[in-house]
Amino acid sequence: MSAFNIVDIIKHKRDGEELSSAQIRWFINAYTAGEIADEQASALLMAIFWRGMTSRELNEWTDAMIESGERLDLSSISVPTADKHSTGGVGDKVSLVLAPLVAACGIADPMLSGRGLGHTGGTLDKLEAIEGFRANLSAEEMVSVLGEVGCVICAAGPSLAPADRKLYALRDVTGTVESIPLIASSIMSKKIAEGTEALVLDVKVGNGAFMKTLSSARELAERMVEIGTAEGVKTSALLTDMETPLGRTAGNALEVAESIEALDGGGPDDLREITLALADEMLDLAGVQADPQAALGNGTAKEKFEAMVAAQGGDLSQPLPKASARRSVTASATGYVRRLDAHGVGIGAWRLGAGRSRKEDPVSEVAGIVCLKKEGDPVEEGEAVLELHAQDESRFAAAEEALKGAFEIAAEPPEPRPLIIEKIHA
């Protein structure tokens, strides 16, 4: 005999009532165990979508999701642990530079990452452009690489927050993905289950991000910081700009190449600025004093990247794959790039094959877009602004359609926008 009735719980939330801790934990456990029908769970998710959650409800919901599976045991790691999570953007290859960078500074980073869906790229898809790289590691392998190298980037195993896996799939097909409490609990349940002591959240804001407005991004950041703090994880968030692509590339192998360039001490200024700001924040939360800028300049971060890739089966002696088909998109006037739209570039890269519509779809390692010009750059009429990369030329027409209006040429350069908009902390 069940302790609760799911229909009563649905009505309770539908009518704007606060769910008790016992109701929440019963629902999470029963749904994960397959004892509640998808249509009933969908009704509760929709009620949460419209009615929201109090802080107590959200903390309880997230904790129940964490407890639905295992927590990684990082007790064998002798240095402070810290991680970063990004809400996703176009050209966001920060993780590839940041994890080895903080490892070079004395932090162990157990980074569980995902695959791309839609126009925002997935970290694992990028790394798998490296010959032999293994993203799927057992918990024992993950902890071994972390202890040996100081950083690991891999997929979350099925034992971590299994409730989230079931609920996320349901949200995806029931129009409830955009609920801020459900987004916050989904992200934080996996990140807390990985066992890290500190967590920095990179919450992207703008047309190329999931959160389009500053107010929604701030609300999501505040709720995630609140959850992390309640779980005993030192947590802060940076709100960062995603109106224009980060760096000059969007696409899997292209972004790996750009990340290696950054690890060599070069790379685009915006990628470097965001990465260093997040590294500083991670070091601060972890209580480690080090100079990440020096670690980029002296090659120690690059050495950590090479060691991590090798430990996960990757072979950096093999050249990264390159596209056989390329096409340029040119400027129709002389002036300055006043706007380069992240969403348009992201959709263009997706249509070239760099992204996927469904989780099971394959992605092209070579597809993507190189931004030869960025916002504020001078350009001549007929000069290439974007370079499209694909496995075959049949992809170009759809990508070019997505890129119509994606950039604007004006007589004067735009006013620069700050990359780091705001910091949220407990």
Q: Which amino acid is residue 391, in one-letter code?
A: Q
User: Angle, nearest 10°, between helix axes 180-193 and 162-172?
Assistant: 150
pLDDT of residue 412: 96
Same domain as 374, residue 273: no
- Final residue belonging to a domain, choices 292, 317, 342: 317
* Rounded Cα distance, 39 and 43, in Å: 6
Domain for residue 18, yes or no?
yes
Q: Is residue 103 part of a domain?
A: yes
Please report, for the domain that includes residue 263, its CATH number.
Answer: 3.40.1030.10
Q: What is the mean pLDDT of the chain?
A: 95
301 and 362: one domain? no
pLDDT at 162: 95
The pLDDT value given to residue 357 = 72
pLDDT digits (tens, 9 = 90+) for 410-420: 999 999 999 99
pLDDT at residue 390 in the model: 97
Residues whose CB is less than 8 angstroms from the CB of residue 219 and which lie 6 or more positions away in sequence, other chains included: 180
Provide the annotated active-site residues: 85, 164, 171, 186, 190
Q: Is residue 375 part of a domain?
A: yes
The answer to whether residue 29 is domain-embedded is yes
Per-residue pLDDT averaged across 236-245, rounded? 98
Residues 287 and 310 in one domain: yes
- The reply to whether 143 and 223 lie within a common domain is yes
Same domain, 340 and 386: yes
Residue 146: strand, helix, or coil: helix
Taking only the tens place, the pLDDT of each residue in 342-391 is 999 999 999 999 988 777 778 999 999 999 999 999 999 999 999 999 99
CATH number at residue 10: 1.20.970.10
Could you tell me if 139 and 285 lie in one domain?
yes
Asked, for residue 15, whether it belongs to a domain, the answer is yes
Lowest-pLDDT range of 1-5, 180-184, 331-335:
1-5
Phi, psi at residue 217, to the nearest 5°? -65, -40
pLDDT the model gives residue 117: 65
Residue 170 lies in a domain: no
pLDDT band per the 50, 70, 90 thresholds, residue 98: very high
Domain residue limits at 307: 82-155+194-317
User: At residue 268, does pLDDT exceed 70?
Assistant: yes
Residue 383, domain CATH: 3.90.1170.30
SS3 sequence of 17-72 = CCCCHHHHHHHHHHHHCCCCCHHHHHHHHHHHHHHCCCHHHHHHHHHHHHHCCCCC
Q: Is the dihedral of CA 285, 183, 218, 243 positive or negative?
A: positive
Whether 106 and 38 map to the same domain: the answer is no
Question: How much is the pLDDT for 147?
Answer: 97
In this structure, is residue 415 part of a structural domain? no
In the 8-state DSSP scheme, what is residue 353?
I
CA 248 – CA 329 distance, rounded (Å): 15
Alpha-carbon span 85 to 391, nearest angstrom:
31
Confidence at residue 360, expressed as pLDDT on a 0 to 100 scale = 72
Please tell me whether residues 349 and 281 are part of one structural domain.
no
Q: Is residue 178 part of a domain?
A: no
The predicted-structure confidence for 14-25, as pLDDT tens digits, reads as follows 999 999 999 999
Q: Residues 362, 221: one domain? A: no
Q: What is the DSSP secondary structure assignment for residue 351, as one 8-state letter?
A: I
pLDDT of residue 375: 97
Question: Are 221 and 275 in a shared domain?
Answer: yes
Regarding whether 277 and 329 lie in a shared domain, the answer is no
Q: Based on the domain organization, do 313 and 330 belong to the same domain?
A: no
315-335 burial string, b = 16+ CB within 10 Å, else e? ebeeebbebebebebebeeeb
pLDDT at 334 over 80: yes
Domains identified in the chain, total number: 3
Residue 1 has pLDDT above 70, yes or no: no
CB 72 within 8 A of CB 142: yes
Predicted model pTM = 0.95
Write the pLDDT tens digit of every residue in 25-68. Answer: 999 999 999 999 999 999 999 999 999 999 999 999 999 999 99
Which of 317, 345, 366 represents a domain boundary (last residue)? 317
The tens digit of pLDDT for each residue in 278-329 reads 999 999 999 999 999 999 999 999 999 999 999 999 999 999 999 999 999 9
> What tens digit of pLDDT does each residue of 193-236 get?
999 999 999 999 999 999 999 999 999 999 999 999 999 999 99
